[in-house]
Amino acid sequence: MKGTDFPPEFVFGVATSAYQIEGAAFKDGRIPSHWDTFSHTPGKTWRGETGDVACDHYHRFSADVALIAALGVGSYRFSLAWPRIVTEDKRPNPKGLAFYHRLLDSLAEHHIEAAPTLYHWDLPDWLASRGGWANRDTAGYFADYAEIVFKEFGDRVNTWMTHNEPWCTAFLSYGLGEHAPGHRDWAEAVRAAHHVLLSHGWVVQGYRGMGLDGKIGIVLNPNVVDAVTDREDDLDAARRQDGFRNRWFLDPLFRARYPEDMVQEFSRYVPTWDFVKAGDMEALSVPMDFLGVNYYNRDHVFFNPRDAFLRVGSVTPPPDQVTAMGWEVHPRSLYRCLKRIQDEYTAIPLYITENGAAYNDRISPDGRVHDSQRIEYLRDHLAAALDFIREGGRLERYYAWSLMDNFEWSLGYSKRFGLVYVDFETQSRILKDSANWYRDVARSHRLA
Ligand code: IFM
């Protein structure tokens, strides 16, 4: 193995999620999710855009799978839409299941491994109206949905991810109000986080209980948090941000407890912790086979007494060091993030389940999309991942986010993360330069 080589068994992939690409939002028995309701509520998304059509992947999946194959990757991470699979009277929806069978057939024809996520934020709306993830019952309904999925697809799929980014499901959605259901209530948010983690544990136990022997894990979005100075108040702000962003999820999953300093912090908002029931911490920390890490940027923070929530302020990076999301490009922090998780929390294999960047891509007069900044971003992050592997780190997979431009949640179609450019008017797809570059890396297992 040369210095620029990935191990032969290392898996390269691309990732998407259901609501961001599928469209066909009201077709074949799919029931509404809280993202349909949220995106159709004026003022909630950029220009009022919705996932009604998105990339129309529901109808174009076969051509999209051919694109994945052209990228030379071994695995495709996508999500299953709960509202497509289970009806409101809690029965399996045959047409929804049939769609995913067709998708799996197509992936199999191209020898691409399927790596589905059970929950990537599209909560059935009827559950949202009963309190969503802040209601413990949702965890039970999620386990029931997972059982339907495992019965149907358990013999066809060997890599499962329970949740995508519980931080977003709980904190961004119920605390910061940026994602559906758009609530701003930290008591709800903390309860939601607990129920999400609990449902993960129940689903892992359920999976094993069915005698299935594939690999199952959860996907977090941890960040490296750096303080701007070594002053005590800045370091303390970084500790709180780290607690909020990272430890609130890593500690329960791997140590079966919530971090005490953050319990105290959140107690200002959370009147009672009685939603944490006996046995919950054991249930949610059940061993899993891998941890998925979605990594984009780092948090660079300082003490900000005017921030009522955690007294944390974020540094605005210089414009030439950010992506179109305003996120700092800081590849070394990917290495640090992986290292920290392995050194402090777990020896199970890590997968980078998302990494990528949005840039203001344009079609050039030659009809191509020359996204050299994205190539640089991917190259530098893959180099950081390779450093981790070469030092003995157990990193087994890397999924680029995303296969194609798609619905970037409250930012609508304004941010393009794809390796493949999508013209949302015509639904035509163009492989960007980064797609060709990534294909060469995936095929050769070498970072040129
Ligand atoms: O598009 C999202 C994805 O759904 C979850 N992780 C981050 C991506 C970019 O914001």
**pLDDT digits 0-9 by tens, 204-224:** 999 999 999 999 999 999 999
- For the question of residue 165 being annotated catalytic, the response is yes
Catalytic residue among 22, 165, 188, 265: 165
**CA-closest candidate to residue 165, choices 325, 346, 45, 296:** 296
Q: What is the pLDDT of residues 57-85, one digit of tens each?
A: 999 999 999 999 999 999 999 999 999 99
Evaluate whether 136 touches 180 at the Cβ level (below 8 Å): no
* Residue 74: per-residue pLDDT: 98
* Residue 3: per-residue pLDDT: 76
Whose Cα sits closest to atom 2 in ligand 1?
A: 408
Ligand 1 geometric centre to CA of 46 (Å)? 16
Q: What is the pLDDT of residues 26-59, one digit of tens each?
A: 999 999 999 999 999 999 999 999 999 999 999 9
Report whether residue 294 contacts ligand 1, using a CB cutoff of 6 Å. Answer: yes
Q: Which of 169, 406, 417 to mutate to test the pocket of ligand 1 (most atoms within 8 A of CB)?
A: 417
Overall average pLDDT of the 396-401 stretch: 99
Q: Indicate left, alpha or beta for 285 from its phi (over 0: left) and psi (-120 to 50: alpha).
A: alpha
3-state secondary structure of 394: coil
Alpha carbons 142 and 146: distance in angstroms, whole number: 6
Ligand 1 geometric centre to CA of 410 (Å)? 11
Alpha carbons 401 and 405: distance in angstroms, whole number: 9
Ligand 1 geometric centre to CA of 435 (Å)? 18
Alpha carbons 209 and 155: distance in angstroms, whole number: 14
Indicate if the pLDDT at residue 1 is higher than 70: no
Ligand 1 geometric centre to CA of 74 (Å)? 21
Q: State the DSSP code for 160.
A: E
Report whether residue 17 contacts ligand 1, using a CB cutoff of 6 Å. Answer: yes
What are the residues whose beta carbons fall under 8 Å from the beta carbon of 174, sequence distance 6 or more? 132, 133, 134, 181, 183, 185, 188, 189, 192
Ligand 1 geometric centre to CA of 230 (Å)? 32
Ligand 1 geometric centre to CA of 220 (Å)? 11
Nearest atom, ligand 1, residue 17 CA: 4
Alpha carbons 297 and 253: distance in angstroms, whole number: 23
Beta bridge partners of residue 299, listed in sequence order: 225
Report whether residue 408 contacts ligand 1, using a CB cutoff of 6 Å. Answer: yes
Q: How far is CA 27 from CA 12, 84, 85, 93, 295, in A?
A: 32, 9, 12, 12, 33
Dihedral through CA 404, CA 116, CA 254, CA 143, nearest 10? 130
Report whether residue 223 contacts ligand 1, using a CB cutoff of 6 Å. Answer: no
Alpha carbons 102 and 88: distance in angstroms, whole number: 23
Q: pTM of the full predicted structure?
A: 0.98
Which DSSP string do the residues of 206-238 spell out, in sequence order?
Answer: HHHHTT--SEEEEEE----EEESSS-HHHHHHH
**CA-closest candidate to residue 423, choices 355, 376, 367:** 367
Report whether residue 401 contacts ligand 1, using a CB cutoff of 6 Å. Answer: yes
Q: What mean pLDDT is reported for the chain? A: 98
Domains of the chain listed by start with CATH number: 11-444 (3.20.20.80)
- For the question of residue 260 being annotated catalytic, the response is no
Ligand 1 geometric centre to CA of 274 (Å)? 32
* Residue 4: per-residue pLDDT: 84
Overall average pLDDT of the 349-367 stretch: 98
Evaluate whether 360 touches 314 at the Cβ level (below 8 Å): no
Q: Which of 14, 17, 422 to mutate to test the pocket of ligand 1 (most atoms within 8 A of CB)?
A: 17
Alpha carbons 405 and 424: distance in angstroms, whole number: 9
Evaluate whether 288 touches 345 at the Cβ level (below 8 Å): no
**Tokens coding 254:** 């791997």
Whose Cα sits closest to atom 10 in ligand 1?
A: 408
Whose Cα sits closest to atom 9 in ligand 1?
A: 408
Nearest atom, ligand 1, residue 401 CA: 8
Tell me the one-letter amino acid at 266: F
Alpha carbons 53 and 275: distance in angstroms, whole number: 38
Evaluate whether 371 touches 431 at the Cβ level (below 8 Å): no
Residue found under tokens 């993830």: 133
Report whether residue 405 contacts ligand 1, using a CB cutoff of 6 Å. Answer: no
Overall average pLDDT of the 170-199 stretch: 98
Nearest atom, ligand 1, residue 417 CA: 9
Alpha carbons 221 and 294: distance in angstroms, whole number: 5
Q: What share of the chain is helix, strand, coil (3-state, %, to 5)?
A: 45, 15, 40
